[in-house]
Amino acid sequence: CSWALLVFPFIFSGCFFISSSAPLRSASTQSESTKEYYAPIGSYSSFEENLLATFEDYSHKRYFIQTPHGEISVEYFGRKEPSEDLILVFPLLGGRNGVESYFARYFAENGFDAAIINRDKEFKKAENFDKIEEIFRNNVIRDRIAMTFFEEKLGKKNFGSFGISRGAINAALTAGIDPRMKYNVFAMGAQNLPGLIVESRERRLVSYVKDLTAERDITVEELRKLLSLKIKSDPRFYAQNINPQNTLMFLALFDSSIPLEFGLELRRSAGYPDTVFLPAGHRTAALFTRFIPIFPFDYIEQESLNFYRRSFKRESATYSLVPIKILQIPFNLIGTLIDKIRRD
């Protein structure tokens, strides 16, 4: 039928997300002040390697890297036949590494070396409010030192990132500052951290805002303004340096933890990269993965894997997700319409 003839080319192009419509843009140059602000005091001085487990196709190691910016703990999932490519999986906010470990293992099982740069929980402690920018800035510097370590010790030349939620925010920030992080997947990421912190319905952030406003006897709006004065390390200042042709985003239409408007802001700043809009909230987006083995498809994983295969010039993409891609079309159109309405 004529409908089938129209749909057929799209099925086999794999283009069931909203593709980037922005023109190619040249790479932005960093100001000298930005380069200086995020320059490490020095590189790593030593490191320790521990083998944690060995599997059929890859091994799991932990590195402790000593630097002037503190010890960096890295989980490394290295293939038995390593390549020059590395996917850095950025952790969620604090807690255990369950989700990020799942994705790092997934990428390793499917042909890519992957690593997790572990983070602590300092950011979400109200008593560290006055150090919030120092914490964010130090995270970027530590990411950069870790990339240098992987270049010099493990021969990595091509870097990608994968981040969910707070991990996607961190990945977007580092990618906007360090051009080595070239191929990026941001799932439920955002920019405009002052607005996000005070408007998020995520339990820990709600508690954080409540504690700070009570402790300092200020309103939520006053806290937003104070955060705006303090926070310089925000993707909104650097996302324009990210190449949209080398980026894939996932946004949840009903997200209250990372409200959609802040994800759309990041999408605009990054030049409208290819974007998948999920009919889900922040936590229920996990149903589009096999991390919780209820959903029959590893959808987010496969879309990300196809993106990395194209980007790192590996084998061609697979088309096993064609049915779910077709079902995805109306939600992607809804997401694009919401973005247009908010821009207008």
pLDDT at position 294: 74
Top pLDDT among 291 and 105 is at 105
**Order of all β-strands in the sheet with 114-117:** 46-54, 58-66, 72-79, 114-117, 85-90, 158-164, 181-187, 247-252, 274-278
How confident is the model over 271-284, as a mean pLDDT? 94
Amino acid letter for position 323:
P
User: Can you give the pLDDT at residue 124?
Assistant: 73
> What's residue 25's pLDDT?
57
pLDDT tens column, 220-257: 999 999 999 999 999 999 999 999 999 999 999 999 99
Phi, psi (deg, nearest 5) at residue 78: -105, 130
The proportion of the chain whose per-residue pLDDT surpasses 70, expressed as a percent, equals 85
Residue 305 parent element (H or E): helix 299-311
Q: What are 318-326's contacts with CB under 8 Å, separation 24+?
A: 319/11, 319/12, 319/14, 321/297, 322/11, 322/16, 324/297, 324/299, 325/11, 325/14, 325/16, 325/17, 326/7, 326/11, 326/16
Task: Choose among 67, 64, 66: nearest CA to 76.
Answer: 64
What's the burial of 287, exposed, middle or buried (CB within 10 Å: 0-12/13-18/19+)? Answer: middle
Is the CB of residue 173 less than 8 Å from the CB of residue 236? no
pLDDT, tens digit (0-9, with 9 covering 90-100), for 119-134:
876 777 788 899 999 9
Is pLDDT at 274 greater than 90 in this prediction? Answer: yes
19 three-state secondary structure: coil
Q: Domain ranges in the chain?
A: 30-343
pLDDT at res. 125:
79
pTM: 0.88
Q: Residue 292 has what DSSP assignment? A: S
If you average pLDDT over every residue of the chain, what do you get?
88
pLDDT at 334 over 90: no
Does the pLDDT value for residue 16 go beyond 50? no
Looking at residue 8, what is its pLDDT? 35
Residue 171: closest CA among 275, 111, 90: 90
Query: What is the average per-residue pLDDT within 54-65?
Result: 98
Q: Quick one: tokens of 30?
A: 């960093």
Give the residue, 206 or 92, on which the prediction is more confident. Answer: 206
CATH topology of domain 30-343: Rossmann fold (3.40.50)
More confident residue, 175 or 326: 175
Which pLDDT does position 340 carry in this prediction? 75
- What six digits make up the tokens of 113? 């070396």
Separation of alpha carbons 315 and 268, rounded Å: 30
The pLDDT value recorded for residue 234 is 98
